A and B are shown apart, each in its own frame.
Chain A
Amino acid sequence: MGHEAPIVKLLGLEFNLSNILMILVSSAIVFIIAVLSTRSLAMKPTGMQNFLEWVMDFVKNIINSTMDWQTGGRFLTLGMTLIMYIFVSNMLGLPFAIVVDHKLWWKSPTADPTITLTLAILVVGLSHYYGIKLKGFSAYGSDFFKPLPFLFPLKIIEEFANTLTLGLRLYGNIYAGEILLGLLVSLATSGAFGFIGAIIPMMAWQAFSIFVGAIQAFIFTMLTMVYMAHKVSHDH
């Protein structure tokens, strides 16, 4: 790849403008899809409402498979936003990439570890917040010493490991997909022979990337609910 990122410095913080652009684009697409789907709600669902209800049932099933609905119901909105946002983000980088002045502007926002780790930290942070909120601080704290007290350091490491793996798994899958797509593109543009040679693997890889993108969105949401359940449920 070897493209640079359009970075600006503001108030001592570095901002990657391409990331910010893609975050906004993804969010806007998700919001537009959701609002269009729910513009004309009816008891008898039609068209887009059916689709969004299907998504909602899907997320409901994910939550129900990890915890009871009494505690899990409050995470429905979070789960739906996560799965839609990550899926849309994963898809954005597939059809094309835009490079201006050797700077990569259009890509999947989830192909950047900063983004995925932010989401992971948000999820793990929320799991701790709800753990304290729903179980009380003492029950939440004592969970770190179960089942055996000397496992406490491992429990602490587990939290960081969870965060890292949650974020980097998503990033790795999407970034790898985009790198291979980029390589195939450079092969296709190298000449007529390269174009013919690249067209079949290109299609295959894009199809596979769609599959991976959907799977990764599902996995991220699933793991979110698993971590939540781990923190908020009383029985282990």
Chain B
Amino acid sequence: MLTVEFALGAGGFAAGDMLVQLVVFLILLALLKKYAFGPLMGIMKQREEFIANEINAAEEKHAEAKKLAEEQRELLKQARIEAQELVENAKKLGEQQKEDIIQAARAEAERLKEAAKKEIEHEKEQAVAELRNQVASLSVLIASKVIEKELNEAEQEKLINDYIKEVGEQL
């Protein structure tokens, strides 16, 4: 008994203490679980889930942003190609129009030239025809004058010359 007293210290061995310690500890355990550790574990779990969700959301957003950027790049590329095409087309069209206008102008000029030529020809023919008519009538006139007047050769010559001159002046 002495050794037991020594080993177990001044307090001795009280069986009731075991019971009290056991009961109090279990009560403490239950109370802590209910009022402290339970809620704490809950909030820690909640935080864990929150963080996991946030990470997921961030990853999703990142992927989406990447996709959008890719799309934008694609669009930009397409737009650039389209713009180039437009410019090319416009250039081609302009060239075409220029060519057409020149062609038309040339044709018009040709036509005008042709028309003027024809006019000149026509005028000339008319003038010649008129001249011919006048020459005929003059010839008749001259013949009648010659017949009217019995003139000598010299006078006749002079007369003809005068008439020709007259005609020349008239023409």
Contacts and interface: CB of A to CB of B under 8 A. Distances in A.
Co-assembled chains A and B? yes
A122 B22 contact: yes
B32 A13 contact: no
B3 interface: no
B1 interface: no
A23 B24 contact: yes
Interface string B5-25: 001111111111111111011
Contact of B20 (A1, A20, A35, A119): A20
Interface residues of A, number: 50
A140 B71 CA distance: 63
Given A14-B16, A38-B40, A80-B37, A112 B9 contact: yes
B44 interface: yes
A53 B28 contact: no
A52 B36 contact: yes
Contacts of B27: 27
Given A7-B14, A41-B40, 10 more contacts: A7-B12, A10-B16, A27-B24, A37-B40, A38-B39, A104-B10, A111-B9, A112-B9, A114-B17, A114-B18
20 contacts: A14-B15, A14-B16, A19-B14, A19-B21, A20-B17, A30-B28, A31-B28, A38-B35, A38-B36, A41-B40, A43-B46, A53-B44, A56-B40, A76-B37, A77-B29, A104-B11, A113-B8, A113-B9, A115-B17, A115-B21
Interface of A: 1-5, 7, 10, 13-16, 18-20, 23-24, 27, 30-31, 34-35, 37-38, 41-43, 49, 52-53, 56, 76-78, 80-81, 85, 104, 109, 111-115, 117-119, 121-122, 171, 175
